Chains A and B, each alone.
Chain A
Amino acid sequence: MKKILIINLKRLGDVYTTSHLINSLLLESPTSEISLLVYEESLQAAQNIKGVSQVHSINRKKIITLSASQIFSDALAFERLHHETKAVLDVQWDEVINYSNDSVSTLISSSLSNSITGRKIGPSFDSNYCLQVNSDWDHVFNDILTQMPLPPIHFQDCYHKMCDIELSQDGEKVKFNPKHNQNAFKNLKKLRSYFADDSNINLIGLQLTSSVEEKAPRKETYIHLIKKMMRTNLYVPILLVAPSESDRDLAKEVNSNFQNKLVVAEADLSALASVMINLDFVITPDTVTKHIADLTETPCLEISLGEAPFLKQGTRLHQSHILTCSLNKRIFSNKLPNTKIEGTPDQRDLINAQDIFSCLDYILQEELAPQLSEYISLYSPTLDALGLRYDVVAGEIPYQIELQRLIHRIYLTALLNDPASNEMNETINKVLELSRDSIDNKSWLESEKATATETTRDLLSTLRSLLICQDNPKKVTEFIYALDQLLTHCDTCSMSSMATQLFKGRLESLGRASLSQNIKQVESVLYHLKTDLQLIFSCIKDIENAIHEDRRQRSHSVGTTQPRV
């Protein structure tokens, strides 16, 4: 029996996402005993995950209150942390996974060195305070995904690659309470029975709120949407509310526009999954609801606004979709004012009721791709060799961004999967499809090429200065300067920045010995970067050739087509 500890010190929604990894780990090794370490505020989510043997929690709020208050001794705060982690520190683990990869989880994972008999997955420090990783995928997670605003790989796929296991969709991932199941089934079945032909009726759960106001459409949008839904005989809206005063008040306000005839389903986290499995579809701006919809395999339309990072943590269900402002208008950071696009309305006003309604018809009635408002895109998840990919299926296509995202996926696959395989053919076809429609179909490649050229130049300069440094240790400043210059390419959001980030991660993982002691290792890491940069040129060449061949074939087919009479 393998004892596995997963440290996830994120919020409720992120803790729910751990279910996918736990499910895959258990399918691969059913006798494993999996424990979770979470913050107390996410405890309920952890307890709702199926397959978890034990949940340990840290009451962060109490520790922070004790520490921040002048009246209490810091001994109380630290002793509480010590006490709450003791149960974890005292166990011999076969595997520890630093899932949340924040500074606290990394340090706690590091403090478990003597308690691990097997591997540590995700970043941690060794006793010399050097960053340790299990594989390059850990570097991707720690260095690339944290730096790129439009990450090339979904978090779940990255976690699975870090653990070197297949992501499995099979298996039940959340716990259900039989009593809640019974109630939800009984009530929603009764609701369906009110309609003459209930086979055409779709019960649509509407989550009105999100953790942050900016992430949810306005109340008026929902009211218009519900009016549209009620004009058809196809949709029955059900307001989903959490057991809180603010949620209840909002539902009451919305309901007052419909003579209080709307059905309201109030469910806490343990009951929400039971409600979900009895619905046909869910519309949600809230990530927790979205994650539970995914885990219960309830199709949903995720409305992604504000900093909600759908490219990292978006819905995984193939019937589900994501409605968002165009990616060239979004900033995925809560540190920047991102709700207002210059010269355009607030993001919350951009997505209107008609957009949501036509997406509903498109998904559930299999109608043609909807016409969406300006700046709005509808994404759908699809699978390629790297895992889940999001493609625009309606609305605005930000060609440059989409093409760049695709080529970043192709590069990452070539870099860390098998470079010789043809597994990304399908993604290359998608590149061809987009590049045919794009007006400016080459500048994205040119810009990647230019960045790769500059990075290679700086790499060669760094290698040169390292060689000089070997002969003349006084020249170390020049090497450091060159290295510094090389590392500036980490911020370019390109294939080169991915390679440079990977290099930076590998460099940081070298021991803390002096440069003269480490020089051979530094040299080897630099040569590794050289290979990775060469791979960029090879990827670009492959894509250029594919585009060229595609054009040749298309012009040939146009040339051979008989003119219409």
Chain B
Amino acid sequence: MTCKLPITEKYEIKVAKNGSKVPVVNDVHLHSIYDPQREAKQLVERQSDHWNKKRDVLIFGLGFGYHVQAVIEMLEQKPGSYNIIVIEPNMKVASDCVELGLVDTKKVYLCSGYTPQDIYTNRDLIDFLLRKPAMFSHPPSFNLYSDYFKNMLSYQAPKELESISRQFQSAELRTLFGSFDQTLSLNEMAQRLSMNHNQKSEKDFLIMAYHEMVKKSLSLTDEVNK
């Protein structure tokens, strides 16, 4: 499944009553035109109730980053490190935000212009997601790019070996998996290995071990999907 980035037909930067800059994309104001900082603080207070002391936060939508700054301030109230990743589809908005110095890129990992596939194959992002971060959505950005974010949240990675083989960083694994029927999924391939009594290599046994390790969770996932 491929996913295109949203198209920006109209883009301008306005100045709020309190002097802060506000991006307006396709006629949608991404922050309050009166006081973006106050609005951001309220948003964060509302959403952070469910975070359960988490120190990893995934933010959907950057805009000009007022809510990101509010999240940083909230996390910095308590000692200890934290990690913030922001996903912003609009590269222009993101680059303006950085240029205007509205987001500290030393404190925030910014993913701008990434397709869902880019996101779910980025090793740093994957490790971050596996830590089950708290989620924060910036409502104006989320609504403006709703198709993009929905596609991202409902993304399903291709299961065929043809696609899987390409994802391996190790050349050894790319070659190994390249030698099997490319239309099969990894688990189908492991099942076939277990069923047939052909000569097996060390790697074949490792693939079978992998399948044994994950198969219980797979059957649970299948049940849930039914």
Contacts and interface: CB of A to CB of B under 8 A. Distances in A.
Contacts of B165: 75
User: Which of B163, B164, B166 has the most C-beta atoms of chain A within 10 angstroms of its own C-beta?
Assistant: B164
B118 interface: no
A75 B176 CA distance: 12
A78 interface: yes
Interface in A104-154: 104, 107-108, 110-114, 125, 127-129
Given A73-B163, A127-B200, A128-B199, A107 B156 contact: no
A127 B169 CA distance: 27
A103 interface: yes
B210 to A, nearest CB: 5
A511 to B, nearest CB: 11
A87 to B, nearest CB: 13
Interface in B103-162: 116, 120-121, 126, 130, 155-159
A550 interface: no
User: Which of A74, A89, A129 has the most C-beta atoms of chain B within 10 angstroms of its own C-beta?
Assistant: A74
Given A68-B221, A78-B186, A73 B167 contact: yes
B77 interface: no
B205 interface: yes
Contact of A85 (B187, B201, B206): B206
Interface in A496-518: 512
A67 B164 contact: no
Nearest to B176: A82
A76 B187 CA distance: 13
B213 A125 contact: no
B76 interface: no
A391 B122 CA distance: 59
A49 B187 CA distance: 36
Contacts of A107: 205-206, 208-209, 212
A54 to B, nearest CB: 20
Contacts of A77: 210, 214
Given A75-B164, A78-B173, A82-B170, A70 B212 contact: no
A130 to B, nearest CB: 9
A68 B217 contact: yes
B197 interface: yes
Contacts of B130: 62, 65-66
A223 interface: no
B212 A113 contact: no
A68 B159 CA distance: 12
A65 B203 CA distance: 22
Contact of A82 (B121, B155, B166, B206): B206
B93 to A, nearest CB: 25
B166 to A, nearest CB: 8
Nearest to B216: A64
Contacts of B159: 74
Interface residues of B, number: 43
Contacts of B220: 68
A111 B203 CA distance: 6
A315 B210 CA distance: 34
B122 to A, nearest CB: 11
Given A73-B121, A74-B157, A78-B186, A64 B214 contact: yes
A75 B170 CA distance: 10
A72 interface: yes
Contact of B169 (A68, A79, A512): A79
B213 A82 contact: no
Interface in B165-192: 165-170, 173, 185-187
Given A68-B220, A76-B126, A104-B209, A129 B214 contact: no
Contacts of B198: 129
A345 B187 CA distance: 46
Interface in B36-54: none
A71 B209 contact: no
A11 interface: no
B126 A112 contact: no
B187 to A, nearest CB: 7
Nearest to B205: A111
Nearest to A107: B209
Contact of A74 (B186, B201, B221): B186
Contacts of B201: 127
B210 A68 contact: no
A386 to B, nearest CB: 32
Contact of A67 (B166, B170, B205, B218): B218
A82 B209 CA distance: 10
A81 interface: yes
A125 B205 CA distance: 9
Contacts of B221: 68, 70
Interface of B: 116, 120-121, 126, 130, 155-159, 163-170, 173, 185-187, 197-210, 212-214, 217-218, 220-221
Interface of A: 60, 62-68, 70-79, 81-82, 85, 89, 103-104, 107-108, 110-114, 125, 127-129, 512
16 contacts: A63-B210, A64-B217, A68-B220, A68-B221, A70-B156, A72-B126, A73-B120, A74-B186, A78-B207, A104-B213, A107-B212, A111-B202, A114-B202, A125-B200, A129-B198, A512-B197
Given A64-B217, A77-B214, 12 more contacts: A67-B217, A70-B157, A72-B126, A72-B157, A74-B186, A79-B167, A79-B173, A81-B206, A81-B209, A82-B206, A107-B205, A512-B197
- Lowest 8 A-B CB distances belong to which pairs? A75-B167, A107-B209, A111-B205, A67-B214, A68-B217, A110-B205, A74-B186, A73-B157
